[in-house]
């Protein structure tokens, strides 16, 4: 490692050691969950994970890359994830094994207590991989199985599941609706992330607008969001589907005939929604600009902005979206 990079690594490691002493008080989200932030140090190669927003902010100011939310964890559980720190390498290690933690402490690692908690074993697995050649950042933790496999192909050792994060909660949802949800979750995450949107908002809107994929429009047109076919769409000869729909006008709901866009696949239907948000204008400005992740701090803000921007005519649209996201724990998709 070049001398300048080594000096930077040592300085950052020392500062991080100080940051580690900052209170690791949980910034718990609603419903007893916390979002686990993932950061990367380009000088040392270490990934760092924390639920402490103040710690995250400080590290970003010190040059760490903010890689967003790694996973969602329960605010508490019967299985703690311990955090230890090696002052010589500037490396952190995380484990649910009390024996492993105690052994590292005996070897000189500093015990930094409980970093967060693991969910139950039927939830989302967080994979652990080991790089024997790394001086720092020797372990990587991810819920992305493709990332895990990519590291293994590059020589990292697959060490299985480190702990578990929370998953969505579909308790009480009928089988047909659950089956539809499973077809939409993965492409929704991909489309939302590719377009700077909250997956939780996208999925919640699809649930509300399509009745969990059971609506006529969803079944026959892959249109999960009630996106109408305007004259630009119709003029281009693109496919459309005509149905009766309810509109909220002057304080009451009325039934009107309307043309809606028709898509050829689930992914195309989801991308159509993203395209609408990215292209609809209000004068010379984007109508839904404040719905994107870089403008809305969280899904609650995004939901309120959607209603304020006039996405739907229902006066309680934002409240409905937020309720769906909370009830089914869709925020873990973000």
3-state SS of the chain is CCHHHHHHHHHHHHHHHHHHCCCCCCCCEHHHEEEEEEEECCCCCCEEEECCHHHHHHHHHCCCEEEEEEEEEECCCCCEEEEEEECCCCEEEEECCHHHHHHHHHCCCEEEEEEEECCCCCCEEEEEEECCCCCCCCEEEECCHHHHHHHHHCCCEEEEEEEEECCCCCCCCCHHHHHHHHHHHHHHHHHHHHCCCCHHHHHHHHHHHHCCCCCHHHHHHCCCCCCECCHHHHHCCCCEEEEEEEEEECCEEEEEEEEEECCCCHHHHHHHHHHHHHHCEECCEECCHHHCCCCCCCHHHHHHHHHHCCCCCCCCHHHHHHHHHHHCCHHHHC
Note whether 192 and 319 are same-domain residues.
yes
By percentage, how much of the chain surpasses pLDDT 70? 91
> How confident is the model at residue 103, as a pLDDT?
98
Note whether 262 and 123 are same-domain residues.
no
284 domain-assigned: yes
Note whether 209 and 159 are same-domain residues.
no
61 token code pair:
């100011």
Note whether 292 and 227 are same-domain residues.
yes
Contact 155, 88 (CB under 8 A): no
pLDDT: which is higher, 240 or 251: 240
Domain that holds residue 182: 175-333
Note whether 225 and 305 are same-domain residues.
yes
270 domain-assigned: yes
170 domain-assigned: no
228 domain-assigned: yes
Residue 257 has pLDDT above 50, yes or no: yes
- CA–CA separation, 281 and 34 (whole Å): 36
57 token code pair:
């902010």
> How confident is the model at residue 27, as a pLDDT?
32
Local confidence band at 286 (pLDDT 50, 70, 90 cut-offs): very high
pLDDT: which is higher, 116 or 69: 116
Tell me which of 7-11, 38-42, 242-246, 250-254 is least confident: 7-11
- Please tell me which of 166-170, 196-200, 247-251 the model is most confident about, judged by mean pLDDT: 196-200
Note whether 197 and 82 are same-domain residues.
no
Note whether 179 and 159 are same-domain residues.
no
Q: Among 114, 144, 165, where does a domain finish?
A: 165
- The number of folded domains in the chain is 2
Residue 20 has pLDDT above 70, yes or no: no
Whole-number Cα distances in Å, 292 to 3, 134, 295, 329: 41, 37, 5, 20
CATH number at residue 187: 1.10.530.10
> How confident is the model at residue 148, as a pLDDT?
95
- CA–CA separation, 39 and 22 (whole Å): 17
Local confidence band at 305 (pLDDT 50, 70, 90 cut-offs): very high
- CA–CA separation, 80 and 101 (whole Å): 11
Note whether 229 and 277 are same-domain residues.
yes
302 domain-assigned: yes
227 domain-assigned: yes
Whole-number Cα distances in Å, 124 to 70, 120, 144, 235, 315: 12, 9, 10, 46, 35
> How confident is the model at residue 332, as a pLDDT?
87
Note whether 196 and 277 are same-domain residues.
yes
Note whether 92 and 158 are same-domain residues.
yes
113 domain-assigned: yes
Note whether 86 and 59 are same-domain residues.
yes
Whole-number Cα distances in Å, 6 to 1, 9, 52, 82: 6, 5, 27, 28
Note whether 116 and 216 are same-domain residues.
no
Q: Among 115, 141, 165, where does a domain finish?
A: 165
Q: Among 131, 165, 199, where does a domain finish?
A: 165
133 domain-assigned: yes
> Distance of alpha carbon 176 from its chain centroid, rounded?
25
């Amino acid at each position: 490692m070049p001398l300048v990079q080594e000096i930077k690594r040592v300085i950052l490691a020392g500062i991080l050691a100080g940051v580690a002493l900052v209170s690791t008080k949980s910034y718990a989200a609603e419903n007893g969950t916390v979002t686990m932030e993932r950061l990367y140090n380009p000088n040392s190669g270490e990934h760092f994970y924390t639920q402490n927003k103040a710690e995250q902010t400080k590290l970003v100011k010190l040059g760490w890359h903010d890689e967003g939310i790694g996973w969602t964890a329960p605010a508490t559980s019967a299985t703690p994830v311990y955090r230890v720190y090696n002052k010589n390498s500037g490396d952190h290690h995380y484990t649910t094994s009390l024996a492993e933690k105690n052994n590292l402490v005996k070897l000189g690692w500093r015990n930094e207590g409980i970093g967060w908690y693991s969910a139950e074993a039927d939830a989302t697995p967080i994979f652990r991989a080991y790089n024997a050649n790394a001086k720092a950042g020797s372990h990587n933790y991810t819920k992305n199985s493709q990332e895990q496999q990519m590291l293994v192909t590059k020589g990292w050792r697959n060490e299985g599941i480190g702990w578990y994060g929370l998953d969505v909660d579909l308790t009480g949802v009928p089988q047909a609706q659950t089956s539809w949800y499973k077809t939409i979750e993965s492409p929704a995450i991909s489309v939302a992330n590719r377009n700077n949107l909250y997956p939780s908002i996208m999925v919640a809107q699809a649930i509300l607008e399509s009745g969990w994929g059971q609506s006529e429009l969803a079944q026959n047109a892959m249109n999960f969001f009630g996106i109408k076919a305007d004259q630009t769409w119709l003029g281009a000869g693109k496919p459309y589907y005509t149905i009766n729909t309810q509109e909220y006008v002057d304080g009451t709901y009325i039934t009107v005939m309307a043309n809606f866009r028709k898509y050829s696949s689930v992914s195309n239907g989801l991308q159509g929604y993203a395209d609408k948000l990215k292209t609809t204008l209000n004068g010379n400005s984007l109508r839904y600009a404040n719905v994107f992740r870089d403008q809305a701090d969280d899904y609650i803000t995004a939901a309120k902005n959607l209603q304020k921007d006039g996405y739907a005519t229902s006066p309680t649209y934002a409240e409905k979206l937020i309720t769906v996201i909370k009830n089914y724990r869709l925020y873990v998709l973000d």
